[in-house]
Amino acid sequence: MRHGTIVWVEISVRDLRRAADFYSGLFGWPFEPDEANQRWIFAPPGRGAMGAVTTERSPGVGGVKIAVAVDDVDVAIRRAIELGGGVTGEPANPTVGKARDVVDPDGNHLWLYQQEVSTSTGHDARLEGSP
């Protein structure tokens, strides 16, 4: 595992089912109840457990904020809204790619990030011009 890799994320929510429906509908993360009745574990396909939604703590704006890669930010935003979430502020302007701050139904903020790939080479744009 690379240094700095996120190994676990816990998202505070009010309703486990609603949160699981939102994140599953947006990212395809499968959820299963944990032995502790206050959280459900999610594990993206092909990976081990990555995190959980939990009712152990109150959700809020100042809580954990994660960045999640998506294929198309605009499509993901529309899907987030359909699932009961929302969009905050203006689009972010990262030096590479496209990002947008959205909220889940409990008001937790997360970034949707679309990596920019050079259309001429098909390579990661961050690698263009590298030695």
CATH architecture for segment(s) 9-127 = Roll (3.10)
Give the span between the Cα atoms of 65 and 118, in whole angstroms: 28
Instruction: For residues 95-108, give the mean pLDDT.
Output: 85
DSSP secondary structure code for residue 119 in this structure: T
**pTM greater than the 0.75 cutoff:** no
Using 50, 70 and 90 to split pLDDT, how confident is the model at 121? Answer: very low
Q: Under a CB-based contact definition with an 8 Å cutoff, are residues 44 and 129 in contact?
A: no
Per-residue pLDDT at 54: 87
Q: Under a CB-based contact definition with an 8 Å cutoff, are residues 58 and 104 in contact?
A: no
pLDDT in tens, 7-64: 788 898 999 999 999 999 998 889 988 877 788 998 877 777 788 888 887 776 556 7
- The percent of residues in the chain predicted with pLDDT above 70, rounded, is 76
Q: Does the pLDDT of residue 89 top 80, yes or no?
A: no
Largest pairwise CA distance in the chain? 52
CA proximity to 110, closest of 1, 4, 12 = 12
Q: Under a CB-based contact definition with an 8 Å cutoff, are residues 30 and 13 in contact?
A: no
The half-sphere exposure of 68 on its side-chain side, counting CA atoms within 13 A, is 26
Give the span between the Cα atoms of 127 and 110, in whole angstroms: 26
